[in-house]
Amino acid sequence: EVQLVESGGGLVQAGGSLRLSCTTSGFTLDDYAIGWFRQAPGKPREGVACISVSDGRTYYSESVKGRFTISSDNAKNTVYLEIDNTKSEDTAVYYCARDRRTRPYVGNWWTTFYYGMDKWGEGTLVTVSS
């Protein structure tokens, strides 16, 4: 069974750090790109970061570039999202998803990923307090 399970969310003060984990099972991680997107109440999904696991290419949204870092540990079948210098606007449910794409994303990676993703987890809530 294909699964993506997010963990690591919680309450963090503004300016703090948090590491989210996406533990995967039931498929070969190398065959996919894994992305993180978030959704705040009343707002649309927003792609924040993506990694092409086979070659390590990473992609970020402009709103998080420099503060978020995505990485993968193939031995653990896990993809991480490190969030530094947290801001109140980072408050959201964070989801990880997969897209069966190994070639590079061109242009707006999130648009391509969004229409390609076929499985995602149930999310983990991040709340940033000011």
Place of tokens 């190398």: 30
Amino acid 71: pLDDT? 98
Amino acid 117: pLDDT? 96
The average pLDDT across 18-36 equals 97
The average confidence (pLDDT) of the chain is 96
Burial (CB count within 10 angstroms: exposed 0-12, middle 13-18, buried 19+), residue 41: exposed
Amino acid 36: pLDDT? 98
Is the pLDDT at 112 greater than 90? The verdict is: yes
Cβ neighbours of 64 (radius 10 Å): 22
**Beta strands at 68-73 and 57-60: parallel, antiparallel or unpaired:** unpaired
Amino acid 102: pLDDT? 86
